[in-house]
A and B are shown apart, each in its own frame.
Chain A
Amino acid sequence: MKFDAFENYCYTRKAIGYVARKNATIDDYRRIGFMSGLEVHQQLKTKEKLFCNCPAGIYQKPNDYDAEIIRHMRPTLSELGEYDGTALMEFKTRKEIVYLIKHETACTYEIDDTPPFKIDREALEIALEIAMLCKLNIVGEVHITRKQYLDGSIPTGFQRTAILGVEGELDLPNRKVRLIQLSIEEDSCREVSDIGHRRVYMTDRLGMPLIETVTYPDMKTPDEVKEVAEHIRFLNRSTGKVRVGIGSSRQDVNVSCKGGTRVEIKGVSHNKWIPELTHNECFRQWALLHIREKLLKQIPDVSQWKIETKEINTHGCKFRYLPIIQAIKNKNKIIAVQLPYFRGILSHFTQPGRCFAHEISERLKVIACLEQPNMICDEDIENKEIASDFKQIYPLFHATENDAFLIFWGPDDDIKTAIETIEERCKLAFKGVPNETRKALSNGTTIFERVLPGPDRMYPDTDSAPIPLTNEYLQKIAQQLPVPLNKRYQQLIEWNVPTDTFTYLLRNNLVPLIEKIYHELQISPKFVATLLAHRLKNIQGKYKHKTSFNFYMVYEMLQFIKHNSYSLSLAHILIKEKYLHPEMDFDSIMHSINFQRKNKDEILSFVQLLRTKFIPLNPKKEKLKKHWIMGKIRPLAIGNVEMKEICELIEQ
C-alpha cells in the first residue's frame, strides 16, 4: 500500500475534529476543553529605567551602536536547590550572546557590571496604582526576585522582578475575571538576529519599567481571551501613565486543552491576533494527544524505544533535494535517522499547514542551532519528489513499513545535540504535550521557542534590600487613582454614547477628556464621543502619517469654537485640519479654510435667493429642492448656524 503524506495530513486533521475558527462554535471549545489565561505586559511611562538612571523610552536602530559586548550564560541553582529545565536547554545550545550598546541608553548596569540602583519610585507608584485598580491584595514588603532567562535577553541572565499584589479581580461589563498577581519588572533586550550560535540583542529597551498582570486561566473561548486582554489594556491606560505605541504592551497567552499542558505563546503584540493563535494552539495540543494515543498503540514498549542514526557517506549517494545538495557543498554532516513505529506520525496534522515533523525541525533550530531547512522526512507534506532520496537510505537500516525516516544536516559540533534533540522530542510525544513557550506568527500558528520555565528559576536578589509599603504610603497613592473602568462604562451608557465608540474611547483613555469638555464647555458627551470615535478615527485611518497631534487639541479646538460662538458643526472640519496640521493655530486654520463670518439673516437671504434659482428638470422632483439648497448653503452656514436650524427654516 502506498503511503501518501499529504493525504495523511488531511485525514488526521479531520480525524481529530479540527474546525477552522470561523466555523468553530462554543461546543467545539467545550469538546476540546479550551482553557486560557493571560500575562499582560505594559511599559510604564517614566523618565528613567527601573534600576538605573538611564533614560527610558529612547530607541536605537540596529546598526547604530557604540560597542559590542559578549556573554555566555550558565545555569545556576534556584533558591530551592534545583536547576531549571529551560536553563539547562539554553546551556545546551551554547550560544554566544552579543549586545549592541549605545552610550545614550545603556550604562554599566545594563551590561551587568554594576549592581542595581534603588528602584525607580515613579514606576513603583504607577504600578501600585494599577495594582489597586485591579483590587489586588498589596504586599507589605516588596522583595526583588531574580527570574532566570538564559536566552540572553537580559545580560545578567535574570530579570529583576517583584510582586506588588496577589489575588485580584477585573470587572468586565458582563463578568468578573480573577487575577493571580501583578508584578513590576525590568523589560528585556530587543533581539536583532539569531543565527547559528550567535544571537544579537540591542540594549535600548532593557531595564525599562514594566508591569505584568497575570490572570487565572478562566477564559473558555478565544474571543473571551481577546476581550480580557483589551480590558486590561484599557485599565492600564486609564491611568494615563503607561506607554502606548508599538511594543509598549505585549501579551503572553497561556493555552491548554483537556488533557493537555500549559503552553505559553510569547510576545503577542496585537490583541487581534489572540483568537486565531489560541484557537490553533488548543487544537495543536488536541492533535498531540491523538498522536500520543496512536504511538502508544503502535509501539510495543515505549520505555525501550530509541532512534537509530547513520552518518551518510555523501560520495556514495546521489541526492536530488536541493537543501541536502547545498549542505554537502557546505561540508555539513548528513545524518539519516530511523524513527521506529513512527509511520503516519511525522505527517500528522498539528496546525494549519504544519505537521509533527515541524515540531522536530523547530527544536533542531532552537536547541541544536541548525538553521532551517535543517531536515527532511519521508513524510514531507509538500515535497513528493524526496522519495528517491530516501530509497538510498532505507537499505542502511533494518527498516520496516512501520518506521519513518528523516535526514538532517549540520556542522559536526552540533550533531550530538541534534540527535539528542530529535530523540527527546519523539519521546515527549509519548507523554503528550510538552511544556513549551512558543513564538506567535502572524498567520495564527506558532513555533517552538523554548522549554517552559517553572518556579525553579526564581531566586532572591541578593543585591537589593526589601522595600516596605506602609499604610500611609499606600493611602497617598490610593488618593490619586483614576475612575475605575466599570464606572467609565456606566458613564458612557448614561451619557447615551453609542456603544460602537467604546473601544476607541477606552483604548485611548478619552473618557476623562469628554468629561472635562462636558463640565467646562458644556458640550454634550455624545457629540464629543462621536466626533472622536467616528470622525477623528476615520481621519486617522485615511491619513496614516506621523503627526504631533494629541487628543488635548480637541479640547482646545472646542474651547476655540465656544469662545468665538461658532456653531459646533465647525468641529468636523477643524478637527481634520488640526490633525493634518497640528502646528497651525486655530485662527490660521479658519483663514486657510476661507471661513466667513455671517449672521443668520444673511444666510437666510441666500436661502431666498437659492429658492428662486432652483428650477427642477423634472417637476415631480420638487422635494429635491430642499437638499439642493442645503448643499449649496452648507459651506456658508457651517460654523455660523447649525444646519438643523437652516433645515427648519427652509421647510417653513
Chain B
Amino acid sequence: MAEDIFKGYKGRALEILKTFNVRVWGQAIIKTNRGEFKGTVLPRAENDDDMHIVVKVATGYNIGIDVSTIISMEEIGYKEAHYKIPEKEFPINPKNPNVKLFGTGGTIASRLDYRTGAVIPAFSPGELYGAVPELADICNITTEKLFAVFSENMGPEQYKKLAIAIGKEIENGIDGIIIGHGTDTLSHTAAALTFMVQNPPVPIVLVGSQRSSDRPSSDAALNLIHAAITAGHGDIAEVMVCMFGPTSDEYGFLHRGTRVRKMHSSYRSTFRTLSDTPLATVSRKDGVKPIKKEYNHRRKDRNVIIKPYFEEKVSLVYYYPNMQPDIIDSLVDNGYRGIVIAGTGLGHVNKPLYPAIERATKKGVHIYMTVQTLYGYCHMYVYDTGRDLMAKGIVPAENMLPETAYIKLGWVLGQTDDREEVKKLMLTPINDEITRREPYNGYLVYQGGVPEVEEFLRKFHK
C-alpha cells in the first residue's frame, strides 16, 4: 500500500488537498476569501469533519481552514515531524531491586496520535527513563507489553494471561511487579488478579494515571514513581492499586485490589478503599507506610499459586425501581450461570422480580446480592423482603463490592458449578473482599461531619 500522504483527510478536504497538490506536513500558502493563511498542513483526526484543513502557523498555534473558502493552495516546503520521546538507555544499578513493568495499554508517558487525536503510550524502559528519569534511582526496570488495549476492553482473557505472566516472573525471581493499566477498569483487574494470583511473595502493583501524561501537571510520573517504590522496596506482598491519595502531588494510597473503586470520572484521587481504610501510603520521602496493621509480608520463597479461571457467562445487574422480571429471565434464557445484583439499601429488589429469581435458582443460576450504597453490608435479615429473597435462593455477599463480587463469581464459576462449593468459595475471603469488621473511619473519611471536614480541608492538603 502506498504511504498515506493525506493522513486522516477525507471527502471534500481530501479533494482540495489533491487538487492543489499539497501534502500533509507540506508548508503551504492558502488563499481564501477570508484572507491569506500560511503554515504547515497537519494530519486530521479521523472523526473530525471533512470541511476543514488543519494548519500550524509560525507561532506554533493550530488553526482550521474552511475548505469552502479556499481559492488556492501552494506548497512551498515540506517538513515532517517525528514525534518521539527521547530514548535513553535505562541505567542498571546492581544494588537496586529488579522490577518488571507489564504494559496493558495505559498511559504513563505518551505521545500524540494524530489519526484519532488521542495519546499513545510510551513504554520501553528507555522511553520511560527519558520521561521519568527519577525511576533509575529507585529500581531496575524491564518492561513487557502484554497487550495494547484501552482499559474498557480488558476482560477475562487478559486477566488470565496477566496472571500467568506474573507467575512466570515470580518464578524467575523478580523483586516486584508493576502493571500499567487504564484507570476505568483498574479495580476489576485488581480484583481478578487477587483471586488468580494467590500467596504472592512480592508486591504486585497496578498503576495508571487520571490526567493524561501529555500535560505537565499529570499524575502519571508520580504514580509510576510511587509504584516503583512500592514494588521495589515495599514490604506488602499483595495485589494493590497505587494512585494519588490527595489530589495534591504529595503521597499515594495503596489500596487492596478487592476493596478499591474508582469514585470520580476525572479527579486524580479518584480511587478509594470502601468500607475500610487503605492499606498504606507511599511517598518519595517516607516510602511505603502501612495504615493497616495486618498484611502479607514480602517473602524470599517463590510459592505463588496461579489460578487462571473465569466463567464468562456471569452478569452484574444494577437494580432500579420498576425493574421488570424479564431482565432476569432473559439472562437465564441466554445461558447465564451467575448473576450479581446490586440491590437497594441493605440488599433489596421489588416483589415483581420474585418469580423470575425463583425460576433462575431452579435452573441452577447462582445469584448473589450486593448493595448499591457501596459502603456497608448486605443485611438481609432486617426486613421481610430480604428474608423472602434469601428463601428464593439469593445469597447475600456481605460487604463485597458489586464489581468485586462480579469478578469473584466469574472466577469461582470457572472452577466449579456445585452450589455449596460455589457458596463456600464466594463467602470465604481471599484478601478482604469480605471483611468481618468495618472500621468507623472507613466510612467517615471525607464524608461525615461537614464543619470538621471543612476545617480538615483547610488545614491539610487535599
Contact = CB atoms under 8 A, between A and B. Distances in A.
Report if A and B associate in a common complex.
yes
A79 B39 CA distance: 15
Interface string B116-129: 01110000000000
A71 B217 contact: yes
B211 A76 contact: no
A158 interface: yes
Contact of B64 (A77, A150, A468): A468
B300 to A, nearest CB: 36
Interface residues of A, number: 65
Contacts of B37: 137, 139, 166-167
Nearest to A459: B214
B458 A113 contact: no
A140 B266 contact: no
Given A76-B216, A87-B216, A156-B215, A140 B52 contact: yes
Interface stretch (A141-149, A199-207, A245-253, A585-593): A141-149
A76 to B, nearest CB: 5
Nearest to B266: A114
B217 A70 contact: no
Interface string A357-384: 0000000000000000000000000000
B82 A81 contact: yes
Which residue, of A71, A113, A214, A466, has the highest number of chain B Cβ atoms within 10 A? A113
Contacts of B60: 78, 145, 147, 454-458
A101 to B, nearest CB: 8
A148 B214 CA distance: 11
A145 B61 CA distance: 6
Given A72-B249, A77-B83, A143 B216 contact: no
A75 to B, nearest CB: 6
A155 B218 CA distance: 10
Interface stretch (A61-69, A420-428, A444-452): A61-69
B54 A462 contact: no
Interface in B8-63: 32, 34-37, 48-49, 51-52, 54, 56-63
B331 to A, nearest CB: 35
B64 A113 contact: no
Contact of A155 (B81, B86, B217): B217
Contacts of A296: none
Contacts of A136: 35
B216 A73 contact: yes
Nearest to B122: A77
B221 A466 contact: no
A70 B65 contact: no
B62 A143 contact: yes
Interface in A44-82: 65-81
A162 interface: yes
Contact of B49 (A157, A468, A469): A468
Contact of A79 (B81, B86, B217): B81
B57 A76 contact: no
Nearest to A457: B60
A139 B215 CA distance: 26
B277 interface: no
B3 interface: no
Contacts of B65: 139-141
A468 B215 contact: no
A466 B48 contact: yes
B36 A66 contact: no
Interface residues of B, number: 59
A138 interface: yes
B153 interface: no
Interface string A430-465: 000000000000000000000000111111101001
A630 B386 CA distance: 100
Contact of A157 (B118, B215, B248): B215
B141 interface: no
Given A143-B61, A148-B216, A466 B52 contact: yes
Contacts of B83: 77, 79-81
Contact of B216 (A67, A69, A156): A156
B81 A81 contact: yes
Nearest to B84: A81
Interface in B70-121: 81-86, 111-112, 117-119
A460 B62 contact: yes
A69 B460 CA distance: 9
Interface string A374-418: 000000000000000000000000000000000000000000000
B383 interface: no
B217 A156 contact: yes
B216 A458 contact: no
Interface string B348-361: 00000000000000
B62 A181 contact: no
A67 B249 contact: no
Given A462-B118, A468-B49, A162 B61 contact: yes
Contacts of A142: 63-64
Interface of A: 65-81, 83, 87, 108, 111-115, 136-143, 145-148, 150, 155-158, 161-163, 166-167, 180-181, 183, 214, 454-460, 462, 465-466, 468-471
24 contacts: A68-B458, A69-B462, A70-B248, A76-B218, A77-B83, A79-B56, A79-B112, A80-B81, A80-B83, A108-B267, A112-B211, A114-B266, A137-B34, A139-B64, A140-B65, A141-B54, A167-B35, A167-B36, A167-B37, A181-B57, A455-B60, A462-B119, A466-B64, A468-B66
